[in-house]
Amino acid sequence: MSDARVDNLTIAVAAGKGGTGKTLISCSLAQALVREQDATVQLLDCDVEEPNADILLRPEIAEREVVNILVPEVDLNRCTHCKRCARVCEVAAIAAVGQAVLTFYDLCSGCGACAVVCPTGAISEAPLRIGEVAHGAADGIDFHQGRIDVGHQRSGPVTAATRRAIADGAVTIIDAPPGTACPMQEAVDGSDFCILVTEPTPFGLANLREAVGTARRMDVPCGVVINRDRDGYAEMEQWLESEGIPVLMRVPERREIAEAYSRGETLLGASDEWLDELTDMYRQIAGLVSSEAAPSGKE
């Protein structure tokens, strides 16, 4: 543990699909590190459409930060129906139809382009709430949880607001959304390392291949945690070996783990043996990051 980066890593925990145990791993890792490390440990729940790290960590929330975006408001008295606003909008959130200009706030990202191109100043911008970030603490873990409001589809601003909590000098664990689409990429982007949680099944392998491809395209080094491991899955093992992807930890399919999870507890609630397993995994990651000389995820 001599590397200077050891106490300053940002580690995303992702999975090719939901239900693989991603949040179990991220919360267990944060709990293990806060017991074993002197450093500040943060848990950022960036699974903003379905955040649930609070169920396992039971944080005390000190503050709720509202996340707004600026959406266009159109003054039709000043509108000349030139349609420039509709043409510039990449997500079809504003439409100029005849004498009317329609806005669709559930699609709007708040980029402001329509207001910039409007030649008459007919478009002003007004704040619209799309979600919140809860800030608090959970047994020594610095806890932050983003949540998008029902009816909104733009996770980016809520994820960005959650990620603003990343602190220098802290170990930051990011619980990313499942899948490999934009919300996952927004959460993982700029991390020092990405743990990909998978299951030893053909479906798990298919999702894992996609997730590894995404992490590589983002230039984020990755390793794998195999959850609900039975006797291994030869095809997955062979693929991981051929791709040079390390297996960081295996979580067997065991009754006490399932029971702990159903009680709303992490791996540490199942057995103390996981404390060493999780801190060993962290050491492996720190070694891999050092050897890859990966860029810092701190902003």
Q: How many residues touch ligand SF4 (CB under 6 A)?
A: 27
CB of 180 to ligand SF4, least distance (A): 23
Q: Which is nearer to ligand SF4, 38 or 90 (CB)?
A: 90
Q: Which is nearer to ligand SF4, 124 or 291 (CB)?
A: 124
Q: Which is nearer to ligand SF4, 109 or 284 (CB)?
A: 109
The kind and range of the H/E element at 10 are strand 10-14
Contact call for residues 11 and 174 (beta carbons, < 8 A): yes
Cα–Cα distances in angstroms (integers) from residue 31 to residues 38, 78, 169, in the given order: 13, 57, 17
Binder of ligand SF4 out of 111, 160, 268, 275 (CB under 6 A): 111
Helices (H), 106-225: 113-117, 156-163, 182-188, 202-217
Q: Which is nearer to ligand SF4, 123 or 225 (CB)?
A: 123
> Given phi > 0 = left and psi -120 to 50 = alpha, else beta, which region is 139?
left
Cα–Cα distances in angstroms (integers) from residue 35 to residues 21, 39, 228, in the given order: 21, 10, 25
Alpha-carbon distance 24 to 41, whole Å? 16
3-class state of residue 6 by DSSP: helix
CB of 92 to ligand SF4, least distance (A): 8
Q: Does 95 participate in binding ligand SF4 (rule CB under 6 A)?
A: no
- Per CB under 6 A, which of residues 122..161 are in contact with ligand SF4? 122-123
Q: Per CB under 6 A, which region of 27-35, 105-113, 226-234, 287-295 contacts ligand SF4?
A: 105-113
Alpha-carbon distance 130 to 65, whole Å? 11
Binder of ligand SF4 out of 14, 44, 46, 89 (CB under 6 A): 89
Q: Does 84 participate in binding ligand SF4 (rule CB under 6 A)?
A: yes
Q: Per the structure block, which two tokens stand in for 225?
A: 């945690």
Binder of ligand SF4 out of 61, 82, 137, 275 (CB under 6 A): 82
Q: Does 94 participate in binding ligand SF4 (rule CB under 6 A)?
A: yes
3-class state of residue 283 by DSSP: helix
> Residue numbers of the site for ligand SF4 (CB under 6 A)?
72, 74, 79-85, 88-89, 91, 93-94, 96, 101, 108-114, 118, 120, 122-123
